[in-house]
């Protein structure tokens, strides 16, 4: 699947990546850069409300365990796990940006490769 990213999110993420200190550059950052290179960038007003974007609330389920997770996807400075806000630079954030409700995907997580389904996407 090819991620779909609206132009303002694309530029916000590129700006973030370009301004990170070398000590902040992680493996996930490289994966995010690859995802951005292959993404389809669209005008803000044309993106579906069912696509995960910055600020989006989403619910996913890990298929083998049935574990459900729900978060908001945000820029790193707004990340706050206590309030269910994860960074776009986190492994899960990198995996989800640009994908839509109903999609199933596999991703390498800190605990190993996992398969998920995106069950709900809701814009702010």
Using one digit for the tens of pLDDT, what is the confidence trace for 93-112? 988 999 999 999 887 777 78
pLDDT value, residue 13: 94
Using one digit for the tens of pLDDT, what is the confidence trace for 28-67? 788 888 889 999 999 999 999 999 999 999 999 999 999 9
Taking alpha carbons only, the member of 96, 112, 4, 93 closest to residue 48 is 4
Q: Is the pTM of this model over 0.85?
A: yes
Helix (H) / strand (E) containing 115: strand 112-122
Length of the chain: 124
Using one digit for the tens of pLDDT, what is the confidence trace for 23-35? 777 777 888 888 8
Domains annotated for the chain, with CATH where assigned, are: 4-122 (3.10.50.30)
């Amino acid at each position: 699947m090819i991620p779909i990213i609206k132009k303002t999110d694309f530029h916000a993420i590129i700006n973030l990546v370009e301004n990170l200190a070398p000590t902040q550059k992680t493996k996930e950052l490289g994966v995010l850069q690859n995802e951005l290179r292959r993404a389809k960038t669209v005008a803000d007003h044309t993106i579906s409300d069912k696509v995960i974007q910055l600020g989006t609330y989403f619910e996913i389920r890990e298929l083998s365990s049935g574990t459900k997770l729900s978060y908001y996807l945000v820029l790193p400075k707004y990340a706050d796990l206590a309030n269910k806000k994860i960074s776009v630079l986190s492994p899960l954030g990198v995996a989800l940006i640009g994908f839509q409700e109903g999609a199933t995907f596999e991703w390498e997580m800190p605990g190993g490769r996992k398969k998920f389904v995106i069950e709900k996407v809701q814009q702010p």
